[in-house]
Amino acid sequence: MPGRFSFLLQLLTEVNGVIDNLIFLALVPNNWRRYKMNGNIRVGNLFGIPFYINPSWFFVLGLITLTYGRDLSQFPQLTGIMPWLLGFFAAILLFASVVAHELGHSFVAIAQGIEVKSITLFLFGGLATLGRESKTPLEAFLVAIAGPLVSLLLFGIFLIIGSNISLSAPLAAILSLLAYINLALGLFNLIPGLPLDGGNILKAIVWQVTGNPNKGVLFASRFGQFFGWLAIVIGALSILGISQFGSAWTLLIGFFLLQNAGFSAQSAKVQDFLSRYTAKDVISPNSPVVPINLTLREFANNYVIGKQQWSKFLVNDSEGKLLGVINVEALKTIPTSQWTEVNIGRLLQTSESLKLVLSNTSLLDVVKILEGENLSQVTVVEENGTVLGLIEKASILTFLAQETQSQTA
């Protein structure tokens, strides 16, 4: 997996100087999550969605179990290990609520045709990793709001059950606890700052108003950074004994918010930069394009022997339209004594294996195609089929390096 992302790391370095390697989330939405939380343990599928647990989750599970068990041990009817068993049960129900929250996002995303790569439980809760972003502000809003709505719905369900059904005091306490934890989960996620759901809601609103999703990300990221710093200050004051509000956990959450809000802001800047250019801007110089009217000898002498080492060449007709591709290795199948008589059309292969992009495709979309389909190059054509050349990862890096240098000069 890291190998696939090396190009993105290079690219972002060219654009922004030395950048933390997790910033490649800018180009492949949510992939940073899978990269960052390596060591995940796959435990099965949820409604066809791969379900993972990060090792950090077990620490939180143990901590919550001990906390709940200690509180439940105050009930005189619970003796022996029963408080700890119920504490473990309550902790599992808590994380089941977190999973339900992520499933809320996932089901709405699936309804929009978005692939859900995975759901992962980790130190700070849960993550639903989506294959792509929503296409419209409304769709983005619906995906973002779905999780908090599920949490608020669970709050109502647990509250009603605990209030209207005769239960033992410990079970009633557990249900009440779960109800208000879901309330807190729903309300906390509605804070209008990335990477929280509220930040994605704010992003969708700004996107709708401005017509630019990157402006929405930048705006919501700034709020996320503000709330991150606020949580850090609150947590630090609590640790120093200056305030009774907050805890060390608040401090950790603050760092989490601050870091990921910064990632989101950086990603928006990179996407905005790449969106200014099109495929036509970054076509590799001296792309391997040859006309169909060449003999094998002309092809070998003028384009292969002593030239740049291309393994394949694009072949066009007299009007410049793409006919197919020639593999240089195929020259070996024809005796050299016949090269002056045989046309390159003898070795022509179909272009079905080529990935074609239109010349007006944004560079951002080109990079997403290269990474999403794990390609090393794409072929650029005009709408009428005229072939213009190739785009390689190296040519993108070279182009961006030149552009950033010219802008800073």
Reduced to 3 states, what is the DSSP secondary structure of residue 338? helix
- Residue 356 sits at φ, ψ, to 5 deg, of -100, 140
Look up residue 317 and give its two tokens.
Answer: 């007709």
**Which DSSP string corresponds to 52-118?**
EE-HHHHHHHHHHHHHHHHHHTTSTT--TTHHHHHHHHHHHHHHHHHHHHHHHHHHHHHHTT--EEE
Those residues whose C-beta lies under 8 Å from the C-beta of residue 307, and which sit 6 or more positions away, are none
- Clarify whether 329 is annotated catalytic: no
**Triad 137, 224, 27: Cα angle to 5°:** 55
In the set 14, 102, 139, 371, the catalytic residue is 102
- CB-based contact 143:105 (threshold 8 Å): yes
**Which DSSP string corresponds to 197-264?**
HHHHHHHHHHHHHHS-HHHHHHHHHHHHHHHHHHHHHHHHHHHTTS-SS--HHHHHHHHHHHHHHHHH
Catalytic center residues: 102
